[in-house]
Structure 1
Amino acid sequence: MIDYEAILGSLFDIVHVTDAEGRTLYCSSGYREYFGIDPEEMIGKPIEDFYHRGYFSPTITMRVIRDKKKVQTIQTTGQSRKLFVEGTPIWDKDGNFSGVVNTSIDITDQEKLHQELNEIKYIGTLYQSEITKERGRQKGSATLVYRSPSMQQVAAMAEKLAQVESSMILLGESGVGKGVLAKYIHECSPRTDKPFVHINCGAIPETLLESELFGYEKGAFTGADKDGKSGLIEKANGGTLFLDEIGEMPPGLQVKLLTVLQEKTITPVGSSVPRKVDVKLITATNKNLRQMVKEGKFREDLYYRIHVVPLEIPPLRERREEIPLLVHYFLEVFCERYSLRRQLSESCYRILEEYDWPGNVRELENVVERLVVTSHEELITPAQIPRYIHSQESSETSGVKVERVMQMQEAMEEVERQLLQRAFELHKTTTKVAEVLGISQPSASRKLRKWVFSRE
């Protein structure tokens, strides 16, 4: 006879099952070790009771019950253990929500390793933690933190492209992490022990950009160093050159960059003698270069040279499942940096997860740093979250309005109709509608036929 509990125990450290109201139906024997709770004591009781008694924080069961979708978080137990917890809704054969199953993996040792080595790699997640990033004069770690299928594909492609010499361009909105991904590609490449030079083409004044990129000979211009100066491209020789905001490069320098790619040479300002260089080129932009080519603002021949392999990073709002992981990661980084001890309340995670983050990961990082350094207490509460983030939450949750008094059943049906109609307008397929609403695909099809398709 198959021992299902032994199988579950080999896959996860903790398994916990509740009904649709959050009452415990099953919990594995590991609860005593990780939480200090007798598993038998939990059977039939609401999981929230044990959360309020301080056995663990945060809790995700009620979030799964409320949102009817999968939720992940990092949980701290009363035994000072760190767990990666994933809560998954359970549906019966008719598509009705019937409970929650939480699976937990102990990452305490990984947390300690992160503190010692300044890097993080959580067991049970799809984190990739193999890149580094210069911070001041020290070479620390820049962690590629991801969980979503879209970022799994990006990371897998980045690792593959790191092994070839083809030029590549990273696309995406400002703040999505193009610089981090570029460094990740470098660290995964055979050039990892060679220089990685990051140049922001939009941050250097146009008058200085040429001499900074290509260097200059002594006496090349008034104010030049008497001994001349090597350019940043030459400093990347043998390694990786990352040109961020490539769309900001002036047309004159675009011609010289094309020469670098075609001839693998540079000519410093004031010199007529080219120098050989060998660099792997990665570029990045948040602009539409194809449109710029049509408008004559970007050279077509250079466009095709750098656009050999495009790699697009999705905005954070399209991979919300990564927000709790990123929040936790940045919380640990800034707590360590400022020698502080801070935690976010469960409601803070919910508010941050629902915000659209127009500034993407960079904005999220800044907000977490702000919360850490401005909080006077160890527990950070929603009151400390910037008002503009609350404002979006308020505007989004105000979509359902009561215009007249009606029967409760009628009101619930109206809300269901609006949700289905809005979800179908956004996602177009019953499969995606089912996913975002947290219901089964047959239920989504049936409800859409009732409330949406029948009215078309």
Structure 2
Amino acid sequence: MIDHEAVLGSLFDMVHVTDAQGKTLYCSSGYAEYFGIDPQDMLGKPIEDFFHKGLLLPTITMRVIRDRKKVQTIQTTIRNRKLFVEGTPIWDQEGSLSGVVHTYVDITDQDKLEQGLNEIKYIGTLYQSEITKERGRQKGNTALIYRSPSMQQVAAMAEKLAQVESSMILLGESGVGKGVLAKYIHECSPRTHKPFVHINCGAIPETLLESELFGYAKGAFTGADKDGKSGLIEKANGGTLFLDEIGELPLNLQVKLLTVLQEKMITPIGSSVPRKVDVKLITATNKNLRQMVRDGKFREDLYYRIHVVPLEIPPLRERREEIPVLVHYFLGVFSEKYSLDRQLSDQCYRILEDYDWPGNVRELENVVERLVVTSHEEVITPAQIPRYIHAQEASASQGIKVERVMQMQEAMEEVEKQLMQRAFDIHKTSIKVAEALGISQPSASRKLRKWVFSRE
């Protein structure tokens, strides 16, 4: 006779089974070790009762029951153990939800994280982000947190490009993480032990930008340091130079930068003696440089020099599956920074995942920091989430609003126009738009030509 509990115990540290209402039907004896709870005391009781007592944070049972799909999270126990938890819905023969099976793997120690990755075929990206965070903490490396296919491609390409000397440009909206990716590329490159110099071309006044970038010789101008000063480009010698917001660079400095790239020489202000520099150049912008070239605001020769390999980072609203991963990561960062033990309730994750994040990862990071430092309780609740985030959720749940009376045909066309524009902004291709709206691809192409492309 097979001992099913022994079999499950050999695969997972713990197993917990609930019915469709979240009441406990079975739990492994390991609960006593990890949570200090007698498993017998849990039988027949809702798992939410133990969540509200702070014994296990966060809980995913009700989320699995509500969403009818598999959910993963990192759970912290009252005994300060970190567990990777996966909740899987169970269906009866009629296709109705009959319960939830939770499996737990202890990931407190990095050795167990590494071993778990080798032994378990699929453990979820939250698990992987915990490893990334631990490695970053130990080695001082930049943590690149992602789980979407689009960002997996970006990360893979970044690691590949880090091994070559070609110039690259990072594209994407403000706040998507171009600076983090640039630092990651540097740390993956053979130049990792050399300087990484980050220059925001839009943050330095134009009158000071030239001297900051290129430096100046002794006595170059009134008020200058009597011994002269090395520029930031020269300080990056041997390492990586990251020019953020490259579109803000004035035309006269674009000429000097082009000389640096072509001749690998730099001439400080007030000097006639050039100095040799060797830098790997990474630039970034959220502007349309090609249009700036057409408008005469950006040099065409510099554009082609820095645009050798473009790498675009998609906005956060197009990779929503990363939101809970990033929330979990920042929650850990700021809890540690401020010596506070904070957790988000399950409903908070859902609210944050539904928000569009126009400020992208930077906005998300700021919101999580705000929640950590302003919360008076260990568990952060939806009431503490900023009102404007709730406002979008409420607006989305209320559906279409009619502001004025109009002809029925006009109203239908207006809804279709807005729907097509919104779908194209998110999905970018007619095939994906068709899938999202439940229409054929030819129909999607026709409607996009009518409502979207005709407006460009």
TM-score tier, shorter chain, comes to: 0.7 to 0.9
Alpha-carbon contact 2:57-2:343 (below 8 Å) kept:
no
Paired residue type of 1:262: Q
Normalising by structure 1, we get a TM-score of 0.77
Once the two structures are superposed, the pairs formed by residues 22-33 of structure 1 within 5 Å of their partners are: 22-23=22-23, 27-33=27-33
Deviations 1:400-433 (A, max 9, x none): 89xxxxxxxxxxxxxxxxxxx9999976899999
**Paired position in structure 1 for 2:328:** 328
Distance 1:184 1:164, change over 3 A: same
Once the two structures are superposed, the pairs formed by residues 113-262 of structure 1 within 5 Å of their partners are: 123-125=127-129, 128-129=132-133, 142-262=142-262
Find out whether 1:346 has 2:349 as its counterpart. no
Cα separation, 2, equivalents of 1:184 and 1:386? 31
Where in structure 1 are there 5+ consecutive unaligned residues?
Answer: 114-120, 134-138, 402-420, 437-443
Paired residue type of 2:63: R
Distance 1:99 1:304, change over 3 A: farther
Distance 1:191 1:224, change over 3 A: same
Cα separation, 1, equivalents of 2:126 and 2:354? 24
Paired residue type of 2:197: V
Cα separation, 2, equivalents of 1:271 and 1:107? 58
Alpha-carbon contact 2:167-2:280 (below 8 Å) kept:
yes
Cα separation, 2, equivalents of 1:297 and 1:206? 15
Once the two structures are superposed, the pairs formed by residues 358-373 of structure 1 within 5 Å of their partners are: 358-373=358-373
Once the two structures are superposed, the pairs formed by residues 261-410 of structure 1 within 5 Å of their partners are: 261-399=261-399
Cα separation, 1, equivalents of 2:259 and 2:221? 23
Paired residue type of 2:319: R
Alpha-carbon contact 1:216-1:231 (below 8 Å) kept:
yes
Alpha-carbon contact 1:131-1:187 (below 8 Å) kept:
no
Distance 1:50 1:247, change over 3 A: same
Alpha-carbon contact 2:129-2:145 (below 8 Å) kept:
no
1:197 Cα deviation from its structure 2 partner: 0.3
Cα separation, 2, equivalents of 1:111 and 1:382? 35
1:129 Cα deviation from its structure 2 partner: 4.8
Paired residue type of 1:235: K
Cα separation, 1, equivalents of 2:232 and 2:423? 51
Alpha-carbon contact 1:216-1:228 (below 8 Å) kept:
yes
Distance 1:260 1:126, change over 3 A: farther
Alpha-carbon contact 1:132-1:187 (below 8 Å) kept:
no
Paired residue type of 2:65: I
Q: Secondary structure at the match of 1:105?
A: strand
Which range is displaced more, 77-86 or 213-222? 77-86
**Paired position in structure 1 for 2:84:** 84
Cα separation, 1, equivalents of 2:134 and 2:379? 31
Q: Secondary structure at the match of 1:365?
A: helix
Distance 1:156 1:2, change over 3 A: farther
Distance 1:50 1:125, change over 3 A: same
**Paired position in structure 2 for 1:404:** none
Deviations 1:24-60 (A, max 9, x none): 5665554443234455665666443443454312111
Q: Secondary structure at the match of 2:76?
A: strand
1:289 Cα deviation from its structure 2 partner: 1.5
Q: Secondary structure at the match of 2:75?
A: strand
Alpha-carbon contact 1:243-1:284 (below 8 Å) kept:
yes
Q: Secondary structure at the match of 1:108?
A: coil
Cα separation, 1, equivalents of 2:149 and 2:174? 21
Once the two structures are superposed, the pairs formed by residues 37-116 of structure 1 within 5 Å of their partners are: 37=37, 46-89=46-89, 100-110=100-110
Alpha-carbon contact 1:195-1:236 (below 8 Å) kept:
yes
Alpha-carbon contact 2:72-2:126 (below 8 Å) kept:
no
Alpha-carbon contact 2:129-2:325 (below 8 Å) kept:
no
Once the two structures are superposed, the pairs formed by residues 427-438 of structure 1 within 5 Å of their partners are: none
**Paired position in structure 1 for 2:119:** none
Paired residue type of 2:34: Y
Cα separation, 2, equivalents of 1:389 and 1:304? 41
Where in structure 2 are there 5+ consecutive unaligned residues?
Answer: 114-124, 402-418, 448-456
Alpha-carbon contact 2:23-2:47 (below 8 Å) kept:
yes
1:200 Cα deviation from its structure 2 partner: 0.2
Distance 1:234 1:132, change over 3 A: farther
Cα separation, 1, equivalents of 2:306 and 2:7? 50
Alpha-carbon contact 2:63-2:346 (below 8 Å) kept:
no
Alpha-carbon contact 2:28-2:39 (below 8 Å) kept:
yes
Paired residue total: 413
Paired residue type of 1:33: E
Cα separation, 2, equivalents of 1:112 and 1:340? 25
Alpha-carbon contact 2:19-2:100 (below 8 Å) kept:
yes
Cα separation, 1, equivalents of 2:270 and 2:80? 63
Alpha-carbon contact 2:58-2:343 (below 8 Å) kept:
no
How large is the RMSD of aligned CA atoms in angstroms? 4.0
Cα separation, 2, equivalents of 1:145 and 1:93? 39
Cα separation, 2, equivalents of 1:62 and 1:271? 69
Q: Secondary structure at the match of 1:104?
A: strand
Cα separation, 2, equivalents of 1:92 and 1:297? 65
1:243 Cα deviation from its structure 2 partner: 0.4
Paired residue type of 2:372: V
1:256 Cα deviation from its structure 2 partner: 1.3
Alpha-carbon contact 2:216-2:229 (below 8 Å) kept:
yes
1:11 Cα deviation from its structure 2 partner: 5.4
Alpha-carbon contact 1:20-1:97 (below 8 Å) kept:
yes
1:155 Cα deviation from its structure 2 partner: 1.8
Alpha-carbon contact 2:84-2:106 (below 8 Å) kept:
yes
Cα separation, 1, equivalents of 2:208 and 2:112? 45
Deviations 1:106-153 (A, max 9, x none): 23235999xxxxxxx9755585459979xxxxx965422222222222
Q: Secondary structure at the match of 2:109?
A: helix
Distance 1:3 1:252, change over 3 A: farther
